[in-house]
Amino acid sequence: MSHDVSHEHEAHAHEPVGYGSYILTWLALLVLTAMTVTAAGMHFGSLSVLVALAIAMVKASIVLFLFMHLKYEDRIFHRLLMIVIAAMVIFIGLTFTDTLFR
Amino acid sequence: MSSQSHSIALPNHKDYQGSKFAIWLFLITEVILFGGMFVLYSVYRSEYATDFHHAAEELNTLLGTINTLILLTSSLTMALAIAATHHGNRKLSLTMLAVTVLCGVAFLVIKYFEWGAKIHHGIYPGSEFLLAHPKGEILFFGLYFTMAGVHGIHVLVGVVLLTVMFLRVANQPNGKVSFVAGHGLGQAEGGRIAIVDKDGKTLWTGEEIDTSIQRIDISTRYWPVKERFRVIDFNLLENSGLYWHIVDIVWIFLFPLFYLIT
Amino acid sequence: MFEHARVPEASSVNFYQFKGRFSGLAGWIFSTDHKRIGLMYLILMLVFFTAGMSLGFLMRLELIAPGKTIVDAQTYNSLFTLHGVIMVFLFVIPGLSASLGNFMLPIMIGAKDVQFPRLNLLSWWLFLGGAIIAVVALSTGGGPPDTGWTFYAPYSIRTGTNVTMAAFAVFVLGFSSILTGLNFVTTIHRMRAPGMGFFRMPLFVWAVYSTGWLQVVATPVVGITLVMIMVERTFGIGVFDPLKGGDPILYQHLFWIYSHPAVYIMILPALGVISEIISVHARRTIFGYTFVALSSIAIAVFGSVVWAHHMFVSGNSLVANFVFSLLTMLVAIPSAVKVFNWVATLYKGSIQLETPMLYALAFIFLFMIGGFTGMMLGILSIDVHVHDTYFVVGHFHYVIFGGLGFALFGALHHWYPKMFGRMYHQIPSKISWFLVFVGFNVLYMPMFILGWEGMPRRYYDYLPQFQKWHVVSTVGSWILIAGILIMFINLLRSLKTGKVCTELNPWGGGRTLEWTVPSPPPLENFDEIPTVTRGPYDPEPAEAK
């Protein structure tokens, strides 16, 4: 059989998310984009990277948790996110122990 | 374990959570793939901060912003396409999928013109014009073209993937039942397949089933009733959606780090 | 697309006899059966190993005397590059995971196959494809690469040899590795038999699990790094080119961010196999099971933060050197945990000196030498003198060959009756073990002395004072190769002439699930998925069954 009724409950264990909440999410992303473009015109000096990164991380989290449903998934999926963040922090951080102190 | 399925197929161990887990593992590899390039970006940015700042002024912030908005919108339509399947709304799902694909194409078209202009002005890896500039600027554009290029390839792959998904969803809802010699077909010998309406009136009869018949396939194409559509397992579509969102997330970081450091 | 029919008779024949949709060669190369895929990996890997070994043989012939002996300098550079590329990417990294891991993992967790059998087959096809591209890279473009298997920039960017295609081959092979890791991690999370919690899994499964994570997290880094080498060579982006402001040391960082975890990808499954062999052939449960299991995870984690110890003399900052040297000290600890627990397992065990046990005991000895010399290299003040000398070459051959190599040989003998339904001929197996062990040490032990005295690695020529130990080493290579050939011939012959062995548990001491299925196993391994009620090495309760 090409469709499998018995897995209905496993597949959509939670109530389907309403369309409206996705639209709100999108609006939030548009606002954050406007913020990041505006921030680019302001003079934060050496902090400008951090501001840009911070806004980008908020946007990414919104996409991850809401569009990609991470908020509703089992905890193991959250741990996967932790693993990749830890990997990036280690790779960049430890490389900087070299390049920053040459 | 005795077989009770009617068809020759792999046992139906559709592990929904398992495929979702596997897709997330794959997305981890994608993030780390880009991550390697972000390592280079972060080191060179800290080393050549002023050069990066000057080089970024060459990039077209308007087109970059438009592309960002396009990808963010495509993420919305992707999420809506999947939500529509949960609500049983086939038409909306297909429309949203089509818009997502078009957004992807639009992104690539804008990129094409953006890069065309750059190349026309002599700004491309290895060009004499670029090599005459300070080292930090050379590296900025080297990283820019490589990272945006790898990202663009992923957008292209996504466009193809979602087009295939569109066709698959358009094909739903349907079903197929098979009866095979040795698995229940023998009982039908001497009989015929018939379609009988609710009043008992025969609408159609098929050939008589004798021992020469090895297999009967009944493919059904259901009227796209909401209830039928809603229970279909759109596993592959949802996993494709996850891929598309990651492509969006990568751009969420690329955009400010290249276009907005002015 | 490549599905097999699930017919009732499948359980009464073994997996070789099962007739699927295809027959003959097609029945193998289109099979999604993890056992066939594992054997196909094994066959390819042993072919590549033989090729790599032949290159090593030629290298040692060249080095038996100073100056030109059989080849010129450029050829020699290509020889050691190819020897490294083949051994690392075509033999050691797929290693025990892709071959015996594929065969044994599902059986050991009580499953019928892996989570994604078709993806598994795709991994094998990518492996074969990458190998073919690597071979093509030898004979096209500017000829075989001469950069060393590490492809360091800026030479890898400038050299006229066919680095671009070789890099692409490694990229494809990396993809194969990623998909295998992904498949195995998902399989272990989702397909364990009822009752088998994580802490009832055999230690080989823990090892393959940790390896899978490294494959998923680390491999993409080398993937993108090689892409950048290809882009650099083709378009001149400049990221690793000092003339354009690029930093070649960053290449080394990115390369080793993968390649150090890669050596743990190589060794973790081997460490797992040793636990299995010792448990069975000492008739004991593994002492400190939980510690050994968690040490696999620890090795994976610690092994991911030490990469720059390959770069101590490349131009790193002193801060980085301190940090990485300190972290390198940590990574020895979980390995030591394993060795202590094995020794405790052997103590008062009922030790059967079968060939697998001989390889396991040799492993412990050789791996410890490799590990100690690794610790020495991790100390800055020592590394400054011996980096890029034969000391390093000795070290990594002890850990990789003495480690993974010996574990693979041991595993082949250990699981031979299970996989092939026959027993290998005992006497040749022990003779070959002896020759391999002696030859190995005669070949590689002198390298520590040579390196300590200053003989550089990857050098075609050398000063006359080094010749004595080079001669000893080359003679060792002949003894080693003789032993390996006898071993291979014995294992091949025994397929036809070995004593038929269809017992479930031919060694008698097997307690993990693979020893409960027929030898060789049927297509779907189990008629009924077992329910697990005890730890993997605990004996069956006397009153049960």
Reported as a single tens digit per residue, the pLDDT across C117-165 is 999 999 999 999 999 999 899 888 888 999 999 999 999 999 999 999 9
pLDDT of residue B22: 96
pLDDT of residue B211: 79
- Phi and psi torsions of B202, nearest 5°: -80, 125
C9: pLDDT strictly greater than 80: no
Sequential DSSP letters for C392-444: HHHHHHHHIIIIIIHHHHHHHHHSHHHHHSEEPPHHHHHHHHHHHHHHHHHHH
Instruction: Express each pLDDT in A23-65 by its tens digit.
Output: 999 999 999 999 999 998 888 777 888 899 999 999 999 999 9
CA distance B79 to B77: 5
CA distance C394 to B115: 51
pLDDT of residue C138: 83
User: B touches which chains (3+ CB pairs under 8 A)?
Assistant: A, C
Q: What is the mean pLDDT of residues A72-78?
A: 94
Peptide bond into C520 cis (omega under 30): yes
Q: What is the mean pLDDT of residues C440-461?
A: 97
C482 contacts: CB under 8 Å, gap ≥ 6: C435, C439
pLDDT of residue C293: 97
Place of tokens 């299995």: C276
Instruction: Express each pLDDT in C338-377 by its tens digit.
Output: 999 999 999 989 999 999 999 999 999 999 999 999 999 9
Peptide bond into C261 cis (omega under 30): no
pLDDT of residue C5: 42
pLDDT of residue C545: 44
Q: Read off the DSSP letter of residue C456.
A: B
Q: What is the mean pLDDT of residues C428-445?
A: 98
Instruction: Express each pLDDT in B74-124 by its tens digit.
Output: 999 999 999 998 888 888 999 999 999 999 999 999 999 999 999 999 999
Least confident of A6-10, A79-83, C28-32: A6-10
Of all helices (H) and strands (E), which one includes residue B179?
strand B174-180
pLDDT of residue C242: 94
pLDDT of residue B172: 75
A4: pLDDT strictly greater than 90: no
CB atoms within 10 A of CB B98: 16
Instruction: Express each pLDDT in A5-28 by its tens digit.
Output: 334 444 445 566 789 999 999 999
Most distant CA atoms of chain B, gap in Å: 86
pLDDT of residue A16: 67
Give per-10-residue mean pLDDT for chain B (262 aa).
31 78 97 97 94 93 96 97 89 95 98 95 91 94 96 98 92 74 73 85 87 79 67 85 97 95 80
The pLDDT-based confidence of C544 (bands split at 50, 70, 90) is: very low
Chain B closest-CA separation from residue C423 CA (Å) = 31
Q: Is A95 on the interface with C (CB under 8 A)?
A: yes
Residues of B in Cβ contact (< 8 Å) with A60: 249, 252-253
Nearest to C411 by CA among C304, C508, C295, C276: C276
Q: What is the mean pLDDT of residues C412-422?
A: 97
Of the residues C185, C217, C222, C254, the best mutation for testing chain A's interface (the one with the most A CB atoms within 10 Å of its CB) is: C217
Instruction: Express each pLDDT in C183-226 by its tens digit.
Output: 999 999 999 999 999 999 999 999 999 999 999 999 999 999 99
CA distance C84 to C59: 12
pLDDT of residue B121: 92
- What are the DSSP E strand ranges found in A16-93? none
The answer to whether C459 touches C389, Cβ cutoff 8 Å, is no
CA distance B69 to B247: 13
CA distance C18 to C142: 47
pLDDT of residue B14: 78
CA distance B78 to C322: 48
- Phi and psi torsions of B207, nearest 5°: -70, 155
pLDDT of residue B13: 60
pLDDT of residue A33: 96
The pLDDT-based confidence of C542 (bands split at 50, 70, 90) is: low
CA distance C379 to C373: 10
Q: Which residue from A minimizes the CA distance to B239? A: A68
Determine whether the interchain pair C323/A100 forms a contact, defined as Cβ–Cβ distance below 8 Å: no
pLDDT of residue A7: 40
Chain B closest-CA separation from residue C31 CA (Å) = 13
- Phi and psi torsions of C19, nearest 5°: -105, 115
Chain C closest-CA separation from residue A88 CA (Å) = 10
- What are the DSSP E strand ranges found in C342-466? 422-423
Q: In the Cβ-directed half-sphere of C213, how many Cα atoms lie within 13 Å?
A: 21
Nearest to C144 by CA among C160, C129, C155, C126: C160
Pairing of β B202-208 and β B192-196: antiparallel
Of the residues C3, C210, C215, C253, the best mutation for testing chain A's interface (the one with the most A CB atoms within 10 Å of its CB) is: C253
A3: pLDDT strictly greater than 70: no
